[in-house]
Structure 1
């Protein structure tokens, strides 16, 4: 007989609506499951039970009553939020942000805060003084970052789905490492209220799930505008979940595998996954063709300038600066060395590079690349506290494609289409035109139907 965690999030929501299971039963089931993957930094069992008991019946969201978790970068009223930093280990916000309030309004139940690296900067999740977030496919290997805790929780069956955030690949990288669907929405699709902490527009919140339909349902929960949002995406024609049932038609798919950010060797398994995905898309009737890399290498130092300034915008509380990690201090120092005019010029240049890339890709409906340059690496393989510059360069080599779509603002999804002979997951990334999440989800659902991955389970499931 299937366990409750074998059910998809949508199946759990349907079971709640049908009276087959209560939200409290779901909460108790998940709370009883041990976290041996470093998924949570703070668990909130008492609050989860209280919320599950108090939920009204008949919620409108298909995810009403379904457990989830909140990334530790998102402030949660009355619940410790450390931003992945020892400098904030006792920080308890008074208010929640738009993302958390949207999840609560949908009737979902948070079981706690998922682990993230300091201020969400690195592409690995190894917070100070806590166990690293690891992929359940091999617990000696990293879950990726910065939404590594969220991905580890979903992949290990500790929650059925979770939100993550993505400023340079932080949803898609963990999805690849953990064998999941990870969707970075378009710029402006999900409100950044009330803090609006990213003045550049690189970061956005999105879903991490085991299936495309679950991811779409969570995007329906997260998406929406708030008065005062600096950017916004057009309203979809229907729900994102409904888009999964649409026939996408015959599409033009651009593809490239040359790295964008850095000269780096690409693991043959990642290239094999990309080639197999190309063949699969062609078998589904789509036209796939090779294109040049749409962003020039000159964009890389510009992106790094903006990334450094964003890190500098997250200071430690006064008197706790010494608790920051070496990588954070190094990036912050780089950011503080950038003058106001230099930063403005970098933002303008980044937008021009984005416009050129969007123009080059305009004839195509989708873009196909690998997600990362290697299967999940050993814990500690990228981190280098003694040499933060080397740490940063290693991260660039591991993730040479994902940040391109943060620069352009395009929606992009990593799909778990390949496993290595050793059983490690390898994601493949599809991106679409800005605001074209409905088309992207329709194709992703078509791909999942043609090459289903739902029967795969990691050890210890």
Structure 2
């Protein structure tokens, strides 16, 4: 039986009390036993060999921050020797010749890579369903979604297939599946993970780069452990292991249920989401000053965000548009019809909106919102109608996440309760000053 804490498991591996082969064998068995969840789209054939190599390196005294720990990567990241589908049937599946920079970073810390996990097509959606593999299902209720785009990762962690794992977040893609599966999900600020900004901080149209990498884990300490490994620098775990979480008090926390999508969509909280939000605020209020935040968001945010979010689709080297899912095909067509001037204007406008977000949020140390507006939707919920309905349903389920990516700041989702069906419900905390340590410490306080 393994400890529920990945940090404890890591320490047991470091002390030689467990072998990587033992842990890897256990995780591979869990993957096989729970294949019906659809979390994995490819399982590494050489995982036990990699675990044996990790044990041999340990015997030589070569120990990384995550030495011998099994993990996996989204099917958006290239892993040398493994196929990459990007969740699409419209591009040929290729076997990667080299690791993505984040994969290489974590491989250098001693992880054992068990395979690739399910994603939506091109990572576009808040649900991990596509046309190339079975959907990723929620381990807590397999009729429901595990979220997206890091849905396979979250399902794998929540089901005990891997102890923790990196995700990526371009509009909520770490925080949405974390909330769906009862995990801590951290979206770091842009640039906190060096591999995210190898080609700069803006997209080609001048908009803030939306996607960053972030940890998915069972608790704040495990998230800090993975965050340090992703950065290659010890900082957040020592911070949390010290007295900081206990000393942290009297923050000014503003709360709001206002969403920037309200100008175009009806945004409403299910009773479970509202109850969880209240529970989270009550826990925060035991140590901090919690007060309502009067926030006013730009009326043109929905259309501006959508333009920037989908703009890159027109450059994807698709071999056959007819093999795309409806959402990707529809939004790729709209992106292709958008002129260069319109794209540049959208990028410039989104930077203005981002500055206004940060200005308003900076009246507080932290801004609290609900994580999601309801329990996770059922498999197939989003794809029953048109691309526009699909997108609307996503915005209604996750109305508070994309604005954080636009603002380039840090945010975290933390489980705080359960619905009557036993599904986890979470709160989101935003740091306008991009203080990931503060957010992790608050998560530690809430989870006590």
Cα distance, 1:215 vs structure 2: 0.7
Distance 1:280 1:214, change over 3 A: same
5+ residue gaps, structure 2 = none
Aligned counterpart for 1:308 among listed residues 310, 313, 329? 310
Distance 1:315 1:372, change over 3 A: farther
Contact in 1 for aligned 2:220/2:441 (Cα 8 Å): no
Aligned counterpart for 1:192 among listed residues 167, 181, 196? 196
1: distance between equivalents of 2:143 and 2:92?
26
| Pair 1:240-2:207 in alignment | no
1: distance between equivalents of 2:132 and 2:75?
15
How does 1:208-227 map onto structure 2 within 5 Å? 208-223=216-231
Cα distance, 1:242 vs structure 2: 1.8
How does 1:72-91 map onto structure 2 within 5 Å? 72-88=75-91, 90-91=93-94
SS class of match (1:32): helix
2: distance between equivalents of 1:277 and 1:248?
17
Distance 1:194 1:439, change over 3 A: closer
| CA-to-aligned-CA distance 1:171-220 (integer Å, 9 cap, x gap) | 11101110111111101112236677954411001111111111111111
5+ residue gaps, structure 1 = 225-235, 450-461
Provide the residue aligned with 1:9 in structure 2.
6
| Pair 1:260-2:260 in alignment | yes
Contact in 2 for aligned 1:98/1:193 (Cα 8 Å): no
Contact in 2 for aligned 1:97/1:194 (Cα 8 Å): no
Moved over 4 A (4+): 193-199
**Greater helix share, structure number:** 2
Provide the residue aligned with 1:374 in structure 2.
374
1: distance between equivalents of 2:215 and 2:91?
25
Worse-matched range after superposition: 352-361 or 145-154: 352-361
SS class of match (2:372): coil
2: distance between equivalents of 1:427 and 1:311?
31
Provide the residue aligned with 1:458 in structure 2.
none
| CA-to-aligned-CA distance 1:360-381 (integer Å, 9 cap, x gap) | 1212111100111111111111
Provide the residue aligned with 2:115 in structure 1.
112
1: distance between equivalents of 2:410 and 2:216?
14
Contact in 1 for aligned 2:417/2:426 (Cα 8 Å): yes
Provide the residue aligned with 2:24 in structure 1.
27
Distance 1:220 1:294, change over 3 A: farther
Contact in 2 for aligned 1:61/1:106 (Cα 8 Å): yes
Contact in 1 for aligned 2:127/2:151 (Cα 8 Å): yes
1: distance between equivalents of 2:409 and 2:283?
22
Aligned residues between the structures: 429
| CA-to-aligned-CA distance 1:211-245 (integer Å, 9 cap, x gap) | 11111111111126xxxxxxxxxxx9x61112223
Contact in 1 for aligned 2:228/2:236 (Cα 8 Å): yes
TM-score by length of 2: 0.92
1: distance between equivalents of 2:156 and 2:19?
21
Contact in 2 for aligned 1:182/1:413 (Cα 8 Å): yes
Distance 1:193 1:362, change over 3 A: closer
Contact in 2 for aligned 1:8/1:210 (Cα 8 Å): yes
| Pair 1:407-2:392 in alignment | no
Contact in 2 for aligned 1:175/1:414 (Cα 8 Å): yes
Q: CA RMSD in A?
A: 1.8
1: distance between equivalents of 2:69 and 2:396?
37
2: distance between equivalents of 1:432 and 1:159?
29
2: distance between equivalents of 1:280 and 1:180?
18
How does 1:315-330 map onto structure 2 within 5 Å? 315-316=317-318, 318=319, 320-330=320-330
| Pair 1:42-2:42 in alignment | yes
TM-score by length of 1: 0.89
Worse-matched range after superposition: 285-294 or 8-17: 285-294
1: distance between equivalents of 2:315 and 2:417?
38
SS class of match (1:346): helix
Contact in 2 for aligned 1:9/1:63 (Cα 8 Å): no
| CA-to-aligned-CA distance 1:48-74 (integer Å, 9 cap, x gap) | 212211121144544211111001111
2: distance between equivalents of 1:198 and 1:120?
17
Contact in 1 for aligned 2:148/2:174 (Cα 8 Å): yes
| CA-to-aligned-CA distance 1:319-345 (integer Å, 9 cap, x gap) | x33211111011111111111121111
Distance 1:70 1:432, change over 3 A: same
SS class of match (1:349): helix
2: distance between equivalents of 1:60 and 1:333?
49
Provide the residue aligned with 1:151 in structure 2.
154
How does 1:281-360 map onto structure 2 within 5 Å? 281-283=284-286, 285-316=287-318, 318=319, 320-360=320-360
